[in-house]
Amino acid sequence: MDLGLKGKKGIVCAASKGLGRACALALSREGVELVITARTASELEKTAAEITAETGVKVIPVAGDIATEEGRAAALAACPNPDILVNNAGGPPPGDFRDWTREDWIKAVDQNMLAPIFLIKSVVDGMIERQFGRIVNITSASVKSPIPVLGMSNGARAGLTGFVGGLARQVAKHNVVINNILPGPFLTDRLRSGALVQARQRNVPVEEIIAERAKSSPTGRVGDPAEFGDACAFLCSAKIGFIVGHNLLLDGGNFNSSIA
């Protein structure tokens, strides 16, 4: 299916690796010119060059922390009128809520709630004027099914989800569509580093922990980031203007419900 995105412009945040990178690659394959961000310039530049080498489409790397005003301003300066915005950032650390200070919470809220909200604020009126916009927020399966040790993630992402649910319904009449994708376990560095912590605690190889996660899934595996990228490109498609304010759970069926 032609997603109708050739020649569109987009920003994909936190995209030097993992899920963000997969979204950037899938959009680039559809002919979307991109600005991609991450904090580590060398990794980001390498990713931009790799994507362009594969797709032949322009990808501009803009290094910076998307949780800061400067990081967002730099991305927007390189792509002031995006048709597509994919919001993403690292996730807050796990832990016991008794240990978290106000500063820890502010950091989590900045990164996983306010950064996407301020980026949306910067681009949404232009999208309305041009009568086209697609915004995808990468959140987490924890929004639907909270993960006890990830309390800051559960909280900050739920705040974003609530805000987006209301805004999506205000802008949809202008063909500006906002949706969220909720990843379950996808094989990225983040998943590997979490598995490594458990592997050390239990003194088993990291592969064993990942295999256990795979076994507990109805699919018998963990997700491939490329599958996530394709779903993201679909939700950015010109053809999905009637899919509004959804929370697409991409978890291989882990969440046990007749209605996911």
Say how many C-beta atoms besides its own lie within 10 A of residue 241's C-beta: 14
Binding window for ligand NAP (CB under 6 A); candidates: 31-39, 50-58, 204-212, 213-221: 31-39
Whole-angstrom CA distances from 37 to 16, 105, 255 are: 7, 23, 31
Closest approach, Cβ 141 to ligand NAP, in A, equals: 6
CB of 29 to ligand NAP, least distance (A): 18
Choose which of 26, 51, 62, 67 interacts with ligand NAP (CB under 6 A): 67
Residues from 138 through 177 that contact ligand NAP (CB under 6 A): 138, 140-141
Q: Spell out, one character per residue from 195 to 224, where the chain touches ligand NAP: x when CB under 6 A holds, - when not.
A: ------------------------------
Which residues, 97 to 136, sit near ligand NAP by CB under 6 A? 111
Residue from 19, 34, 127, 136 in contact with ligand NAP (CB under 6 A): 19
Tell me whether residue 40 or residue 219 sits nearer to ligand NAP (CB atom).
Answer: 40
In whole angstroms, how close is the CB of 110 to ligand NAP at the nearest point? 9
Task: Indicate the residue among 9 and 192 with the shorter CB distance to ligand NAP.
Answer: 192
Mark the segment that binds ligand NAP (CB under 6 A) among 17-25, 116-124, 173-181, 233-241.
17-25
Integer Cα distance of 55 and 28 in angstroms? 6
β-pairing, 33-38 with 59-63?
parallel
What gap in Å lies between CA 200 and CA 115, rounded to an integer? 33
Q: CA-CA distance, 184 to 150, in Å (whole number)?
A: 13
User: How many chain residues interact with ligand NAP (CB under 6 A)?
Assistant: 31
Three-class secondary structure assignment of 15-75: CCCHHHHHHHHHHHHCCCEEEEEECCHHHHHHHHHHHHHHHCCCEEEEECCCCCHHHHHHH
CA distances from 2 to 54, 72, 75, 236 (A): 18, 31, 27, 12
The rounded Cα 32 to chain-centroid distance in angstroms is 17
One of 27, 51, 76, 89 touching ligand NAP (CB under 6 A): 89
Scanning 23-31, 54-62, 89-97, 124-132 for contacts with ligand NAP by CB under 6 A, the matching segment is 89-97
Interatomic CA distance for residues 173 and 176, integer angstroms: 7
Q: Which amino acid is at 195?
A: A
Q: Least Å distance between CB 84 and ligand NAP?
A: 17
Residue 14 — left, alpha, or beta (φ > 0 → left; ψ -120 to 50 → alpha)?
left
Select the residue interacting with ligand NAP from 76, 124, 191, 232 (CB under 6 A). 191
What is the spatial distance between Cα 211 and Cα 222, in angstroms, rounded to a whole number?
8
Which residues form the interface with ligand NAP (CB under 6 A)?
Answer: 14-20, 37-40, 43, 65-67, 71, 88-91, 111, 138, 140-141, 183, 185-186, 188-191
